[in-house]
Amino acid sequence: MAARTVWAAGRCSEQAGAVNRAVRRLPGLTQVRWSRYGPEFRDPLTDKGHCRKPAAELTEEEKYDQDLGKTQLIKAAPAAQTCSAFADPVISKSTNMMMKGGSKVLARSLMAQTLEAVERKQFEKYHAASAEEQATIERNPYTIFHQALKNCEPVIGLVPILKGGHFYQVPVPLSDRRRRFLAMKWMIKDCRENKPRRTLMPEKLSYELLEAFANKGPVIKRKHDMHKMAEANRALAHYRWW
């Protein structure tokens, strides 16, 4: 019975695939975003620990998933994806967003230099500080990066809704993905625009990251502005229909 109930959850993918295929065939609707992979393909698993578990430890759900995986087609892993412990999805996403014109090499080197700069600054601070302060100083650049972006994420966003011929900025709850995207976007944009001449991106970005980590700086200010506008337009919240 457990297997069958679990299968009901797993069925969603098949139904989604079936719905996808149904959408494809409906005469009025044409799929705009199509890919070389059909709907039956599933994403590859790069998690190394996935196949390390002995059979006894697997729960029924995982066993079912593993069996299902044998019959399903798998997409090829993208070039940037590895099972390395150093690969961080947040860092990869930010690198891609910083990339211009497809030059991944440059974007990756900039990101590496940024993290190095953050670490160097933190170490300088660490060595210059007293014993009590040394305990509070964070030196791992990855934690600083994650925390800084988390501090920059807005909680609520504004969406222009057309009503009666005018566009009103309506406060709307944002999904996790959208929040992470906005945080990264604001950070990168701010660093590109408000940079004094002759400063390089890693330097500026590391400075902004450290400021955001300490909950101050222009990106945090932008987040607070967004929150204030949402609060001011609170009366328009009922324009949202979803």
| Residue 5 within binding range of another protein, rule CB under 8 A | yes
Size of the site for another protein (CB under 8 A): 38
Contacting residues for 200 by C-beta, under 8 A, at least 6 apart: 113
H or E segment to which residue 24 belongs: helix 2-25
For 69, other C-beta atoms within 10 Å of its C-beta total 14
| Residue 56 within binding range of another protein, rule CB under 8 A | no
Name which position in 28, 36, 164, 197 contacts another protein (CB under 8 A). 36
Backbone angles phi, psi at 195, to 5 degrees: -105, 130
Q: Which is nearer to another protein, 32 or 135 (CB)?
A: 32
Question: Between 93 and 112, how does the x/- string for binding to another protein read (CB under 8 A)?
Answer: -----------xx--x----
Q: Distance (Å, rounded) from C-alpha 154 to C-alpha 221?
A: 11
Closest of 64, 24, 210 to residue 123, by C-alpha = 210
| Residue 30 within binding range of another protein, rule CB under 8 A | no
| Residue 58 within binding range of another protein, rule CB under 8 A | no
Name which position in 74, 137, 155, 237 contacts another protein (CB under 8 A). 74
